[in-house]
Structure 1
Amino acid sequence: MNGAQHILDAFHRHDIRTVFGYPGGCIMPLYDALVDDVGTEHVLCRHEQGCALAADGFARASGQLGVCIATSGPGATNLITGVANAHRDSIPMLVITGQVPSGLIGTDAFQETDVLGMTLGIVKHSYLVDSADDLPTIMEEAIQLARSGRPGPVWVDIPKDILLTETLAEAASQATPDQTDDPDLAEALAMLRAARKPLLYSGGGVSLAHAETSFRAFAEVSALPSVVTLKGIGNNGKHSAHHLGMLGMHGSRAANRAVDECDLLLIIGARLDDRATGKLDAFAPNARIIHIDADAAEINKLRTADLAIRGDLTNILASLTEELATTPLAISDWQHQCRTWNTTGGFSTADNEEPLAPITGPAFVRQLSRITPDNTVIACDVGQHQMWVAQHYQFDHPRHHLSSGGLGTMGFGLPAAIGAQFADRKGTVINVAGDGSFMMNAQELATIRRYDLPVKMIILDNQCLGMVRQQQELFYNNRESQIDLDDNPDFVAMARAFDIPALHIERTDQIRRGIETILAYDGPMLLHVAIAREENVWPIVKPGASNRDMIDESQRTAKPNKEHVA
């Protein structure tokens, strides 16, 4: 087999059946091999960034490895944002690019870029293959690295001549991932039993470790009041009695207050991101810290733990659950206090709007949550709509909530929804976008139409960059600068140009009909939702401030600015 055929052989051995790519000169030998391949479904996206983000969405929704492919030069550079997105959120991804022939590397050849150098900071590992004999083993190693430990993207850059070179080399067997000893949990249990106000704080590491079931069992048996990060949404399910919602910059007052007053913070699979903690030295000021994580690099990185436990989350949580099942924690007063805070300081669940009133983002998302099936996958873009979904949509599983956390990539949602739909061709997948984010990768409407994917698209359109406008209002003296999008296209006509039906709504009494219409349609459909320009996400913490200093609508002093600063 030549190098290209060895790549496909690796796909088959590892049951990789779906890949996302865009062809070009230096990757052409791989595309030639695909002509005769049986078993690999190649999805042609309309931009390389779309390929990477679709592979990302596929991996998040399925828990499997996402794969994206592109050619050298601009093909590779167009992948970079999507790969960085996967890296920041620890998403398992294999990235394969063609490179100019070996003899031309370093000569500024046509479509040559230093992929290895450009991507060092956004991958778990990377390779520039210099021998066809090495390629089978590199593919084995790359796939294992992307999936094992703390997952992440691994990039394999392959010169065109190596893709064409025949070799009899076979893949060398790879060592199994590092195994950690079972930790002694006696100290953790003693700290939990001694605490009067213990709080459970979980993040995206729970689903990355495939530990959702053991986490939920632990949360139920321990009955700890709990908070989650953006990536941890869904960890507790939608019916948890002790869950306080998301913490942080746009978290609930109840969640942030519980963190502020707890005396023990049990952190599971979270990395203390600045959007979650706010001002770090004011975060959980009265709490001892137990930090449980699979990645040693995250422990003590930002906050020194009183007890650090590294290991397999499933096994650790199962052991803790077994111990607590026999002797429950005596924290009834604290549980009652947290429930009281949640009643008065949690996210609203009531709409109470007049039928003919304009649509508000939170009210729309709450109705969306009530109407959609429990197994619906929501792929968000980035902005105000992303936070409204995080606050008001009730997720039953973390893999149902696809959101760009660490990088905050506008344009993520539509290709991520495509990837999620390929992970489950019959599942309900909805892209919730803002008008600004939707335009970032709108070309992927062609991909949806090409494969007749039943993705539902919802655009919450306020004709501006809403999150930027909100921060300019609150923190920049209401001086608006370069945020107007009032020259947006007619999104309904735009969708129809791709042969995708679309519907426009603008009043509260149209919300249910609009949502039910797109869900009932047998195929892709777009719902365009007009919302007010001046609507903000509440509450909010000023960047760099303490989470206890949350701002809500009652503290809004600036009036919407009708004059725009150039």
Structure 2
Amino acid sequence: MEYSKNKVAEVIIEQLHLMDVKRIYGVVGDTIIGLIDALANQDDIQFIAVKHESVAALMASAEAKLTGKLGVCTATMGPGVTNLLNGLGDAYSDKAPVLAITGQAPSVKIGTDYQQYVNQQELVKPFASYSANLTSPDAIIDVMQKAAQKSLGQRAVTHLSIPKDFFDKKTTVRPRRLPTLVKSASFIKEESINRILDVMKTARKPMILAGAGARGASEAIEMLADTWGAGILTSLGGKGAFEASSPNLLQGIGEGGNPYAKSVFMEADVVLLAGVTWWPEGYVPEDARIIQIDSNFDKIEKNIPVEIGITGKTEEVIPKLMQGLESYDRNAEWMDSCQEVKDKWSAQLEEEGNSTGSPVHPARIVRAIERTIDPNAILAIDTGDVTVWMNRIMRQQKQRVLFSGYWRTMGFGLPAAMAAKLIEPNLQVVAVVGDGGLQMTLADLLTARRYGIKITVIVLNNESLQMERDKINAEGGDEVGVGLTNPNFVKIAEACGWKGLHVESESSLEASIEEALHSELPALVDICTAQIFFPETE
């Protein structure tokens, strides 16, 4: 049978479909009209039209983080592609596989003074591991295959710019599936496992630092911690991997983490990094021997002084280590020290989470979120003061957490929550945002309403950029620009077709969040939040 889809735009969509892409996020623009037309005439891939290209890229990044699959965004040339850069920076920093497809000037105008023309390959160079400008319609499959394989294989950002006139050109090439790559822990040599075990057996004060990549190995890590006599610390991304009641879990480390954990972590003599690339500067032991497990060699980086790096999935490697530690003699005194830190922090968490007063203490808000959300909910946390309070107070169950890790962009929470709900429509999705971060993406409340994305947004409204205010005050500086002029968030939410609720005091906190969570509409809870100096601000 003759292949009927022969326009470049049609072939692009079919190729993305074969790559298991379900959505493309973007803003319609002149140079991608050919792509938009092709999207309008098929049902395999949904186009999500957002209000700003930065939101499109952040949604693609969040999808890639949540699923591990290819996230795709699109924009027109000039200001369209430049607006994508913030979201691409987030994907680049957190190693999320994202492909950006952008329109470019007509092929005969590239390199001229054509309006909005910019060399896009140079523009995206800091973020994209691969960026190509399509120079022939018949090269479209080759460049898409290369981009997708780099994105998925290296967990990287890639980019294709396509001249406006090429989308409608005919091509003879046909889409093809990506090659299937089979990975197995069986390739790990016994001598490599033995070398790691030799280091682990030297430990008298072992610690495990776990991240988002440890989610599939949480039970195995808990068993290893018990056998090895190790405390477990987590990055923010690893919070949902373990129940808060897990015996060896000391909660988070770093800004917003367990402040007492620093003392024991600094004493550790062997540290196992499981599914994490973050190394909390200022909180780490100076002379510890460090072992890192991750599925990509390029993840063994970030200036972590790793002695041994082992490539593989955490859930495949940990059982091999367990077998070699069956007769290990745990250090009971070290385990007692870890338990003391755990108990001390648990008691303080309980006290902080029950803070009273109006405006509402941020710790009390986090406790209310903890009490009301589903155990399998997805939390999208924005960047700012809200991040550290969630990290400090939240006693997680098995909730998954999305956040902007190394890039730390404000405005991440709402786009990430919308993407998560599109991916997991049957799960509860909650965005926890500050008033400053929300205002950066406020127009996209309309995007949620347009596509029926029923999420809950909880706004910690303290009328300030509190994290910046805290840091200015900690350094003895003078304030300017940290106070916010906020709109009435409830009225804006209602004008956008959302349910809006306002909370003045803790007495109605849980009830209001519960009402929002069970609303038939997307719902926003605006909480008058106290301006509290964060305890660990340096």
Quote the offset at 1:187 in angstroms.
1.9
Greater RCO structure (CA 8 Å; 6+ sep): 1
Q: Aligned equivalents of 2:424 and 2:226: distance in 1?
A: 29
The question of whether the paired residues in 2 share the 8 Å contact of 1:132 and 1:162 is answered with yes
Q: Where does residue 564 of structure 1 map in the other structure?
A: none
The one-letter code sitting in structure 1 at the alignment partner of 2:529 is I
Check whether the contact 1:254–1:338 (CA below 8 A) recurs between aligned residues. no
Partners of 1:517 and 1:174 lie apart in 2 by: 45
Aligned amino acid, residue 16 of structure 1 = V
Specify the SS of the correspondent of 1:484.
Answer: coil
Of stretches 181-190 and 73-82 in structure 1, the one that deviates more from structure 2 is: 181-190
In structure 2, the residue corresponding to 1:231 is in which secondary structure?
helix
TM-fit CA distance, 1:172: 6.6
Worse-matched range after superposition: 158-167 or 58-67:
58-67
Corresponding residue SS for 2:360: coil
In structure 2, the CA distance between the partners of 1:467 and 1:355, relative to structure 1 (3 Å rule), is closer
Residue matched to 2:36 = 31
CA deviations over 1:68-103 (Å, ceiling 9, x no partner): 111111111111100111110111212111111122
For 1:503, the equivalent position in structure 2 comes to 501
Say which of 21, 27, 30 aligns to 1:22.
Answer: 27
User: Per the alignment, do residues 14 and 175 of structure 1 end up closer, same or farther by CA in structure 2, a change over 3 Å counting?
Assistant: closer
**What is residue 152 of structure 2 aligned with on the other side?**
147
Q: Residue 415 and residue 428 in structure 1: after superposition, are their counterparts in 2 closer, same or farther (change >3 A)?
A: same
Secondary structure in structure 1 of the residue aligned to 2:271: strand
Q: Is 2:535 the counterpart of 1:538? A: yes
Q: What is the 5 A alignment of 1:516-531?
A: 516-531=514-529
Which position in structure 2 is the counterpart of 1:479?
A: 478
1:407 aligns with 2:404: no
Over residues 381-429 of structure 1, what are the superposed CA-to-partner deviations in whole Å (9 max), with x where a residue is unaligned?
Answer: 111111111222233447x111111111111111111101101122211
Q: What is the deviation of 1:259?
A: 1.3
CA distance in 2 between counterparts of 1:143 and 1:218 reads 36
Letter in 2 for 1:539: E
Cα distance in 2 for residues equivalent to 1:420 and 1:221: 36
Q: Could you tell me how far apart the structure 2 residues matched to 1:205 and 1:172 are?
A: 30
Report the CA distance between 1:192 and its aligned residue: 1.7
- Whether the 8 Å contact between 2:94 and 2:405 is mirrored in structure 1 is yes
Contact 1:395 1:401 in 2 (8 A): no
Instruction: Name the residue aligned to 2:250.
Output: 244
Rounded Cα–Cα distance in structure 1 between residues aligned with 2:94 and 2:104: 27
Provide, for residues 474-533 of structure 1, a one-character-per-residue CA deviation record: whole Å limited to 9, x for no partner. 11x152121011x21111111111121211112111111111111121221110000122
- Where does residue 282 of structure 2 map in the other structure? 278
Residue in structure 2 matching 1:200, options 208, 216, 230: 208
Contact 2:19–2:178 at 8 Å: present in 1 too?
no
Q: Which residue, 243, 249, 253 being the options, matches 2:259? A: 253
**Identity over aligned residues, as a percent?**
28
CA contact (8 A) 1:268 1:291 kept: yes
Confirm or deny: 8 A CA contact 1:464 1:484 kept in the other structure: yes
CA distance in 2, matches of 1:57, 1:101: 32
Residues 297/151 of structure 1: CA separation in 2 closer, same or farther (3 Å cut)? closer
| Superposed CA offset, 1:11-57 (max 9, x none) | 22122122212111111111111122121111111111111111222
Partner Cα separation in structure 2 for residue 433 and residue 54 of structure 1: 16
Distance 1:363 1:478 in 2: 29
Map 1:240-389 to 2 at 5 A: 240-273=246-279, 276-278=280-282, 283-299=284-300, 302-324=303-325, 326-345=326-345, 348-351=349-352, 353=354, 357-389=358-390
Query: Counterpart of 1:343 in 2: which secondary structure?
Result: helix
Q: Is the 8 A contact 1:464 1:483 kept in 2?
A: yes
Structure 1 residue aligned with 2:488, among 490, 493, 496?
A: 490
Cα deviations across residues 133-183 of structure 1 (Å, max 9, x unaligned)? 1111221222222122x4122111111222222111235776666979414
Partner of 2:452: 452
Change in CA separation of 1:431 and 1:32 when aligned onto 2, cut-off 3 Å: same
Report what 1:70 is aligned to. 75
- Within 2, Cα distance between the matches of 1:470 and 1:62? 35
Give TM-score, length-normalised by structure 1.
Answer: 0.88
Match of 2:423 in 1: 423
Q: Equivalents in 2 of 1:503, 1:48: separation in Å?
A: 29
Supply the distance in 2 between the matched residues of 1:43 and 1:313 (Cα, whole angstroms).
34
Residue identity matched to 2:200: L
In structure 2, list runs of 5 or more residues that go unmatched.
Answer: 1-5
The 1:246–1:34 alpha-carbon spacing in structure 2 relative to 1, beyond 3 Å, is same
Q: Is the 8 A contact 1:384 1:536 kept in 2?
A: no
2:146 is paired with a residue whose SS is helix
Q: How far, CA to CA, are the matches of 1:493 and 1:21 in structure 2? A: 27
Deviation track 1:327-346 (CA, whole Å, cap 9, x = no partner) reads: 35513321221010122245
Of 163, 167, 186, which aligns to 2:167?
Answer: 163
Partner of 1:552: none
After superposition, the Cα gap between the structure-2 partners of 1:406 and 1:472, relative to the gap in structure 1 and judged at 3 Å, is same
User: In the aligned structure 1, how far is the partner of 2:384 from the partner of 2:426?
Assistant: 28
- Secondary structure of 1:166's partner? coil
8 Å CA contact 2:96–2:157 kept in 1: the answer is yes
- Match of 1:69, SS state, is strand
**Amino acid in structure 2 at the alignment position of 1:195:** A
Cα distance in structure 1, aligned partners of 2:509 and 2:274: 37
- Kindly indicate whether the alpha-carbon contact (under 8 Å) linking 2:228 and 2:330 is maintained by their aligned counterparts in 1: no
**Corresponding letter in the other structure for 1:377:** I
- What is the SS of the residue equivalent to 1:460? strand
- Provide the aligned length of Structure 1 versus Structure 2: 528
Match of 2:233 in 1: 227
Aligned in 2, Cα 1:267/1:352: closer, same or farther, shift over 3 Å?
closer
**3-state SS, counterpart of residue 124 of structure 1:** strand
Alpha-carbon RMSD = 2.3
Q: Tell me, which stretches of 5 or more residues in structure 1 are unaligned?
A: 543-566
Q: Following the alignment from structure 2 to structure 1, what is the Cα–Cα distance between the partners of residues 411 and 178?
A: 37
Alignment of 1:174-213 (within 5 A): 181-183=187-189, 184-206=192-214
For 2:100 and 2:92, the matched residues in 1 are separated by: 12
3-state SS, counterpart of residue 402 of structure 1: strand
- 1:447 corresponds to which letter in structure 2? T
Summarize deviations over 1:340-389 as a string: whole Å, max 9, x none. 01222456123575766431101110121122111111111111111111
Deviation at 1:313, TM superposition (A): 3.2
Stretch deviating more after TM superposition (293-302 or 30-39): 293-302
Change (3 A) 1:103 1:178: farther
1:47 aligns to what? 52
Indicate conservation of the 8 Å contact 2:11/2:175, yes or no: no
